[in-house]
Amino acid sequence: MKNIAIIGAGTMGNGIAHVFAQNNYKVHLIDISQQALDKGIATITKNLDRLLVKERITEEIKSTTLNNIKTFTSIPEGVKNADLVVEAATENVDLKLKIFKQLDNEAPINAILATNTSSISITKIAAVTKRPEKVIGMHFMNPVPIMKLVEIIRGYNTSDEVTKSIMDLSVSLKKVPVEVNDYPGFVANRILMPMLNEAIETLYNGVAGVYEIDTVMKLGMAHPMGPLQLADFIGLDVCLSILNVMYDGFKNPKYAPCPLLVNMVQAGKLGIKSGEGFYDYSESRKAEVISRQFK
């Protein structure tokens, strides 16, 4: 597999494109918005410049990485020669099913179709295609260029051959792949999201404040980032979507989102992406957030 198509130029999509391109894969980055594509390429360039300053890459590697990426606003055009398609669109089940129906029609018959979903059933996504044995989950962690883990999720019909191929491919990206089975939340979010939700419940119940909760977990449990700040970093809307998928999948009240989380998302307080969540990320308050993070 040398030709990789990435659907979605947002935070995860451009990070996945960066990693493939830096490891000498030919990448087609696809988004319906040219503005999103331009922003994605700008982000990749900025991240490469950071690596260059730290002397982790050379100017030649930066140039080659960027040259390995071509952008498209058309899915049919972008995937027509793909060996692997990685979907990294918004965590919305209806959107993903729509995309996979189109990918099944437009991508080469032998292409593997992967999704970067963090919680949605691979089996459900695969069921809308005529190639369920070639559908698999590749759940990268954010920020993709830095984080080593990739959860490789087998759907009910995913073949052994496809699973091995994607495991080997992940190693070629200098990642550490871990194979898991297809249950809501997989491993990472099945454990992480209830913890974040409990931290939000702790705040909601008035046990302690935002800074105090995060400090207890950082200094007492050796977490590099407090759970409320991590929720801001992930996106409170994403956290809510994942918890809803898990609650619907297991019918267990322990996965029910905290009312405070629901209200914050409805109010547009989504974390870093909106400028405010549990912390204020406006320009006037950024220094305070950063200083607290490293205390």
Residues catalogued as catalytic? 118, 139, 151, 189
As a whole number of angstroms, the longest Cα–Cα distance in the chain is 55
Specify whether the CB–CB gap between 200 and 261 falls below 8 A.
Answer: yes
Helix, strand, coil share (%) of the chain residues, nearest 5: 55, 15, 35
Q: Per residue in 33-70, is it b (16+ CB within 10 Å) or e — as a string? A: eeebbeebbebbeebbeebeeeeebeeeebeebeebbe
Which residues fall within 8 angstroms of residue 189, CB to CB, at 6 or more apart? 118, 119, 242, 246
> Helix, strand or coil for residue 6?
strand
For residue 246, the one-letter residue type is M
CB atoms within 10 A of CB 101: 14
Q: DSSP secondary structure string, 113-179?
A: EEE--SSS-HHHHHTTSS-GGGEEEEEEPSSTTT--EEEEEE-TT--HHHHHHHHHHHHHTT-EEEE
Residue with tokens 């998928």: 245
